[in-house]
Chains A and B, each alone.
Chain A
């Protein structure tokens, strides 16, 4: 097993700054914007982007937290149910431009579940997707509107995102697991 750090704390900060600028550029009317972070690490990322928007434009944008457990397509094949976190959407999603925020985009299945969850709450004007890392291997026709870093990876690798709020440090690492160890 080897561990390679690809983003240091400074890189994470700069990347989030750039993504925030892109979001502001794309969404002229910030009043209709809401950031929704996906549990677990999407939530702090969304909060930081909202803080950035307030810094840059002076506008407070509502931030929500979304748990997708109820909408997963693999519940029937799991041995035990995932722990559900609280979904907290502070404003109505109707007619709002929503930016979903997650740490890693991989197969796209979580994003599909998140879109279903959001649409169950109402009819957003649009849903956009912001991710810190896009590692490829999509299984559904989904792409991100805002990407921090494209990181083509092998399935034998794991992308590990750490954030100050959840893990004590901002850092992204690639961990390669030799195929033998994947079995168990």
Chain B
């Protein structure tokens, strides 16, 4: 028979009345939220809460990840995600190496797998990776012993952004159950939308997407077995009716060459989140945006900086959530 081991025994986990991490957490990588259970998401959010406490200290540093090496490998430009991961790693006392596409041997023709192999030989424990091709982190996870965190792959997923969005909503509402969340904008090209749809529906929220049909991913309007159920409402005023949370996506101007929108002006006229449109949502509604914000295009400046906006908070929470993920991934042993 197993008994709970004594708390001070250095070879054993802390004795608690709550279930230990072993029974809840099964991830070696963070690739997408589709394989996250409700319990796992809750563990991430609870752990992020404790990280928020560390961030509130005058000296925001704990020695937890001493001796671990974390590499950020970015094949696409990024400010907040990369800096957020770097700060998260440093707050936990890990060593951080930053690589961006321009400084990589990929410009000399090195393959992704070879680059990753090299990083592993150099001692990387966790690789935080952003890549323009959907699925690239999955290949990396197959070849590497190190843990991979997907910091955005193509149109596919951006799980850490979704988790910080969930954390921000929970910080205001306590819970996501039954909340109406409206996602407005370029759903087709948005990895943030995809990851959020997985996370939000797992947490029990009801998701409505609002965009012109040309910016809707193929098949989303039909019943899907492999993708969560969402409502579609192309009319922004109807979509906003009674919303608890409004997520505005960046209109990815660099991906609008294919004639999906008749004109930018039409998009602004029909889909910009303005103060008068926001009145349709609940009085206590939250306005979110994953950044970078195109003010005056998908969102009007007075809303982006208005009282309902939690955009700045999302960035701060991003550090806490990423600290939580780094902590949960960096186990020893093996």
**A residues adjacent to B (C-beta < 8 A):** 1, 39-40, 67, 69-71, 73-88, 103-110, 116, 120-121, 135, 139, 158-160, 166-167, 175, 177, 181, 184
Contacts and interface: CB of A to CB of B under 8 A. Distances in A.
5 contacts: A69-B14, A71-B62, A78-B13, A80-B331, A107-B8
A79 B331 contact: yes
A119 B1 CA distance: 40
B155 interface: no
Interface residues of B, number: 44
B1 A107 contact: no
Interface of B: 1-11, 13-22, 24-25, 43, 46-47, 49-50, 53-54, 57, 59, 61-64, 67, 92, 327-328, 330-333
B18 A76 contact: no
Contact of A39 (B6, B13, B16, B49): B16
Given A83-B18, A87-B50, A104 B8 contact: yes
Contact of B17 (A40, A67, A87, A104): A40
B16 A40 contact: yes
Nearest to A107: B8
Contacts of A79: 22, 331-333
B14 A106 contact: no
A85 B267 CA distance: 46
A82 B14 contact: yes
A125 B297 CA distance: 57
Nearest to B329: A81
A76 B67 contact: yes
Nearest to B68: A76
In this complex, which of A40, A83, A139 has the most chain B Cβ atoms within 10 angstroms of its Cβ?
A83
A164 B50 CA distance: 25
A105 B9 CA distance: 10
A1 B1 contact: yes
B43 A83 contact: yes
Nearest to A116: B63
